[in-house]
Amino acid sequence: MRWPMFKQVDRLVAMAVLTAVGMTWVTLVALDAFRIFIIEINEVGQGQYSLTKAAAYVLLTVPRRFYEMFGYSALIGGLLGLGGLANSGELTALRAAGLSKLRICASVALGLGVLTIAVALLGETLGPFGERKAQALSLAAKSKDVALAKGGALWARDGETVISAKRGHTRGGEIDLAGVRVFEFDGEGRLLSLSVADGALHTQGDWTLRNVRRTEFSPESAMSTQHAEARWKSGLDPHLLAAGIIQTQYMPLRDLSRNIDYLDRNRQDASSFRNAYWARIFYPFNVLVLVFCAVPFAFGALRSGGLSKRLFLGIVLALGFQLLQNAIVNFGVINGIHSALANTFPPLILIAAAFAYFRRNA
């Protein structure tokens, strides 16, 4: 006889929370998109980059921004939704009816579960697709020498030289390109040489090709040489190339996995891709754990400091969790701990702290 009541309770709590999450989500994404649009306006006039293209660029990145902002929106919306129930007395009524804080928090997590799955799918489909289209639009308008091809391949021109790279990533001030081909032409468009390299690293103003095979062509013959490393003189703007590289946190799982396999096969450092891969795997779990552990701050809002105090404490918890996660993941990278294991520790610590709280304040 009690199960229907529990279903009604879940519906009541879920609707209150999801409504607040939706309003918070749209507001945060709109503010973030407007902030980026203001920044892009400063780029208008560079090449053929117009105000219309700036607006299109921002709109194409909106799906990715929805994905990024969901965790903060779920946390703040969960606190606001339960705070609204507390202000109306409904939360007190639920507690008086015998529902524990743990049970009410489970209703919040249940309501957000389906939405979290949908957001995870967004981060694997429309988010990366829109980001690639936005980067391609921006590069094509701002420069005639750098372009993104289908699949994220990077093409650039430096005088009579054409360069292509299958993928790339940035690390601090370094730019690392993988699957590099360098085509050198003469003034009449004839191919003089082709260099195929596993990668190219730009650091401290110089380019270095790794494991490069260079073939020089003449009307009568072709001659090939192999080098473990070779200097590459190029006037390419590394900042413009960096703008054309899709950041690891914006890549879907399939692209991250492909990059990890490629770098591992060539005995190169794949830590940045591996960290991004496991961070994306744990993303839905981390969101639900964070919301589940933060919503207790909404209880008793009217009795001790008001909702603003609880909201502030919840946001502090979110920032603390993010700092803890970054610290543990970076510690794992330095000490050779697998990224999957390193990403497991922060939510487990938070869950342990939450259950200790629930046992003391059931």
Q: How would DSSP label each residue in 138-206?
A: HHHHH-SSEEE-TTS-EEEEETTEEEEEEEEEEETTEEEEEEEEEEEE-TTS-EEEEEEEEEEEEETTE
Same domain, 53 and 122: yes
Alpha-carbon distance of 103 to 362, in angstroms, equals 10
Same domain flag for 124 and 9: yes
Q: Please list the rounded mean pLDDT of every run of 10 residues in the chain (362 residues).
A: 56 84 93 93 84 92 93 84 76 72 76 89 91 82 64 71 76 72 83 84 75 84 84 70 70 84 76 86 87 68 56 73 83 82 86 74 58
Alpha carbon 39 to chain centroid distance?
20
Helix (H, G, I), strand (E, B) or coil at 303: coil
pTM of the model: 0.75
Do 325 and 288 lie in one domain? The reply is yes
Q: Domain residues for 110?
A: 3-130+267-360
Question: For position 181, what pLDDT does the model report?
Answer: 85
Q: Among residues 70, 139, 97, 69, which one has the least CA distance to residue 13? A: 97
Q: Say what the pLDDT of residue 26 is.
A: 95
Residues 184 and 282 in one domain: no
Minimal CA–CA distance to 295: which of 99, 79, 128? 79
For residue 255, being part of any structural domain is answered with no
State whether 272 and 123 are in the same domain. Answer: yes
Does residue 141 lie in a domain region? Answer: no
In a domain, 146, yes or no: no
pLDDT of residue 122: 93
Q: Are residues 111 and 178 in the same domain?
A: no
**Spatial contact of 323 and 262, defined as CB atoms under 8 Å apart:** no
- 125 and 90 in one domain? yes
Contacts of 114 (CB under 8 A, 6+ apart): none
Q: Which of 212, 245, 278 is the last residue of a domain?
A: 245
Query: Is 142 inside a domain boundary?
Result: no
SS3 of residue 358 by DSSP: helix
d(CA 160, CA 145): 11
Q: Write down the pLDDT at residue 300.
A: 52
Residues 7 and 126 in one domain: yes
- Would residue 33 count as lying in a domain? yes
Q: Please indicate, yes or no, whether residues 160 and 107 belong to a single structural domain of this protein.
A: no
- Which tokens go with 270? 């794949």
- Indicate left, alpha or beta for 334 from its phi (over 0: left) and psi (-120 to 50: alpha): alpha
Task: Indicate if 157 and 188 belong to the same structural domain.
Answer: yes
Contacts of 24-32 with CB under 8 Å at 24 or more apart are 24/73, 24/76, 24/77, 24/80, 25/66, 25/69, 25/70, 25/73, 25/74, 25/77, 28/69, 28/72, 28/73, 29/62, 29/65, 29/66, 29/69, 32/65, 32/69
Asked, for residue 145, whether it belongs to a domain, the answer is: no
**93 in a structural domain:** yes
113 within domain boundaries: yes
Same structural domain, 15 and 104:
yes
Q: What is the pLDDT of residue 237?
A: 65
The total domain count for the chain is: 2
User: What are the Cα distances from residue 339, in Å, to 70, 215, 320?
Assistant: 23, 40, 20
Q: What is the pLDDT of residue 143?
A: 66
Q: Clarify whether residues 117 and 17 are in a common domain.
A: yes
pLDDT number for residue 324: 84
Q: How many CB atoms lie within 10 A of CB 266?
A: 13
